[in-house]
């Protein structure tokens, strides 16, 4: 059931557009059965439309509501990169100094890798999720325990020397995990980083919708479990596997979000990333204009990549085409959750979608594309989507 959260859809976007968005959500999401989905359309700090559909949990059957929480997966890279650039604006962090300036030699390659390289996926770190020392710690590894907290030290065992740092673009979850460790050191530890991020992201809120832990959070708590959707992996036979119950999680799986996983550290509702992107690209309350321009400018290394999205990657964000317009944002996929959020900067429209299913069909981007077309008169252009912790 889609819902309108603004005072009047007619005043905000027209009754016709509201109906089109309702229909687009239903049409696109129905391709994936009872998939749980949340979506929002935001303009200048106002939620013009929102929709919920499907099940937060299949057994017991629980519907998605406005308060249901989802993992954002790699969409969180964009939200975290914004905070990193804020620290650079404040002079706390130099983008071009070796990260050994902040963390010493505890991470391989720290004397040659810079924060800019980590932000732009050009540091050259091999994937720690596939390293023999750390791969067994994640599903379906034989040492995976969804109830055991992770530490950076555990992950550091799988961080190897970077290959040709600064030479080429290669999407890297490892680099963003290291980036989080740098920020934790600067902030005075994990708890201090959580508090600093929470304070920073509040500037994305408005008088109508404040940004609290109810809509976006970096802190993993047991209290959030009752509101959290379960993630589901679509198997080759078409069935869904519950990523919570499959491995015996007693709460939210500890690899799903939160520190030290700054490759996908955030969770919340669709409204959370929607407000942050709107504040970043439309209202201008997150970063200075020159910093935003730097953030969205594709790196020289990414421009050499033939993939359309990789070729537009700046710092935690890429461009995508939809409905005849260019959008700036990010997507994500991990642990039974997928996401997509992006802003059409020219028109000031932000659309965010979160779902609790991972599959090769990329349901979050399919739904996001349908909503982008419904929000654009005469649209018909295709959108692409990508990214993800996996």
Instruction: Assign residue 279 the CATH number of its domain.
Output: 3.40.710.10
Residue 45 lies inside a defined structural domain of this protein: yes
Q: Is residue 152 part of a domain?
A: yes
The pair of three-digit structure tokens given for residue 261, joined into one six-digit string: 């996983």
CB 24 within 8 A of CB 371: yes
Q: What is the pLDDT of residues 105-142, one digit of tens each?
A: 999 999 999 999 999 999 999 999 999 999 999 999 99
pLDDT at 60: 94
pLDDT given for residue 390 in this prediction: 53
Alpha carbons 38 and 64: distance in angstroms, whole number:
7
Of 66, 28, 16, 23, the closest CA to residue 229 belongs to 66
DSSP, collapsed to helix, strand or coil, labels residue 43 as strand
Q: Are both 177 and 58 inside the same structural domain?
A: no
Q: Do residue 148 and residue 43 come from a single domain?
A: no
Is residue 106 located within the same domain as residue 54?
no
Among 39, 51, 46, 40, smallest CA distance to 12 is for 46
How far apart are alpha carbons 173 and 121 in whole angstroms? Answer: 9
Question: Which has more confidence, 3 or 276?
Answer: 276
Give yes or no: residues 161 and 19 share one domain: no
Between 5 and 322, name the one with better pLDDT: 322
Based on the fold, state whether residues 134 and 207 are members of the same structural domain.
no
Q: What is residue 16's predicted lDDT score, i.e. its pLDDT?
A: 77
> How many domains does the structure of the chain reveal?
2
The one-character DSSP state at 125 is: P
Do 233 and 344 lie in one domain? The reply is yes
Q: Do 22 and 100 belong to one domain?
A: no
User: Has residue 197 been placed in a domain?
Assistant: no
DSSP, collapsed to helix, strand or coil, labels residue 72 as: coil
Q: Please give the Cα distance from 297 to 226 (Å, whole number).
A: 40
What six digits make up the tokens of 95? 């983008």
| Predicted structure pTM score | 0.93
Q: Are residues 183 and 216 in the same domain?
A: no
Beta strands in the chain (DSSP E): 2-3, 37-43, 46-53, 55-57, 62-63, 70-71, 216-217, 232-234, 240-242, 267-268, 318-322, 325-334, 337-344, 349-355, 357-358
Residue 381 covered by a domain: no
Range of the domain at 152: 77-189
Query: What's the confidence (pLDDT) of residue 40?
Result: 98
Evaluate if residue 315 carries a pLDDT over 90.
Answer: yes
pLDDT of residue 222: 82
Q: Rounded to an integer, what distance in angstroms lies between the CA atom of residue 78 and that of residue 315?
A: 8
In a domain, 382, yes or no: no
Domain presence at residue 50: yes
Task: Tell me, yes or no, whether 303 lies in a domain.
Answer: no
CA atoms within 13 A on the CB side of 258: 17
Residue 13 CA to residue 6 CA, distance in Å, equals 10
Contact 203, 30 (CB under 8 A): no
Length of the chain: 390
Secondary structure in 3-state letters for 271-315? HHHHHHHHHHHHHCCCCCHHHHHHHHCCCHHHHCCCCCCHHHCCC
Is there a contact between 206 and 275 (Cβ–Cβ < 8 Å)?
yes
Q: What was the pLDDT predicted at 104?
A: 98
Output the six-digit token pair for 262. Answer: 């700054």
Residues 89-112: tens digit of each pLDDT: 999 999 999 999 999 999 999 999
Instruction: Examine the domain organization and report whether 68 and 82 are in the same domain.
Output: no
Mean pLDDT of the residues in the chain: 93
b/e for 353-364, b at 16 or more Cβ within 10 A?
bbbbbbbeebbb
pLDDT for position 382: 40
Domain check: are 178 and 102 in the same one?
Answer: yes
Residue 201 φ then ψ, to 5°: -70, -15
151-180 confidence digits (pLDDT tens): 999 999 999 999 999 999 999 999 999 999
Say if residue 100 is in the same domain as residue 173: yes
Q: Is residue 384 part of a domain?
A: no
Helix (H, G, I), strand (E, B) or coil at 69: strand
Q: Let me know whether 368 and 246 are in one domain.
A: yes
């Amino acid at each position: 059931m889609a819902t309108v959260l603004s005072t009047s859809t007619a005043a905000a976007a027209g009754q016709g557009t509201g109906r089109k968005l309702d229909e687009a959500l239903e049409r696109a999401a129905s391709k994936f059965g009872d998939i749980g989905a949340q979506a929002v359309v935001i303009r200048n700090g106002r939620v013009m439309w929102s929709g919920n559909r499907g099940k937060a949990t299949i057994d017991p059957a629980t519907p998605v509501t406005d308060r249901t929480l989802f993992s954002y997966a790699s969409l969180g890279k964009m939200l975290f990169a914004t905070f990193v650039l804020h620290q650079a604006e404040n002079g706390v962090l130099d983008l071009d100094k070796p990260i050994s300036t902040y963390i010493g030699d505890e991470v391989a390659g720290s004397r040659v890798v810079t924060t800019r390289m980590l932000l732009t996926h050009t540091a050259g770190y091999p994937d720690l999720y596939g390293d023999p020392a750390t791969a067994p710690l994640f599903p379906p590894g034989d040492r995976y325990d969804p109830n055991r907290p992770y530490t950076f030290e555990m992950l550091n065992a799988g961080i190897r020397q970077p290959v040709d740092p600064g030479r080429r673009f290669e999407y890297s979850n490892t680099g963003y995990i290291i980036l989080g460790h740098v920020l934790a050191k600067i902030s005075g530890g994990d708890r201090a980083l959580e508090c600093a991020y929470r304070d920073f992201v509040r500037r994305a809120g408005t008088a109508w919708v404040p940004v609290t832990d109810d809509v976006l959070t970096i802190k993993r708590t047991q209290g959030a479990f009752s509101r959290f959707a379960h993630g589901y992996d679509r198997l080759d036979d078409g069935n869904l596997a519950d990523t919570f119950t499959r491995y015996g999680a007693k709460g939210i799986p500890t690899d799903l979000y939160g520190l030290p996983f700054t490759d996908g550290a955030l969770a919340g509702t669709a409204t959370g990333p929607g407000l942050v992107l709107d504040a970043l690209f439309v209202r201008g309350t997150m970063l200075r204009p020159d910093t935003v321009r730097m953030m969205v400018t594709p790196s020289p290394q990414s421009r050499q990549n033939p993939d359309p999205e990789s070729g537009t990657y700046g710092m935690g964000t890429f461009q995508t085409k939809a409905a005849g317009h260019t959008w700036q944002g990010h997507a994500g996929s991990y642990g039974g959750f997928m996401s997509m959020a992006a802003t059409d900067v020219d028109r000031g429209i932000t659309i965010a979608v979160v779902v609790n299913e991972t599959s090769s069909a990329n349901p979050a981007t399919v739904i996001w594309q349908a909503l982008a077309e419904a929000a654009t008169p005469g649209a018909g252009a295709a959108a692409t989507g990508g990214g993800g912790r996996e």
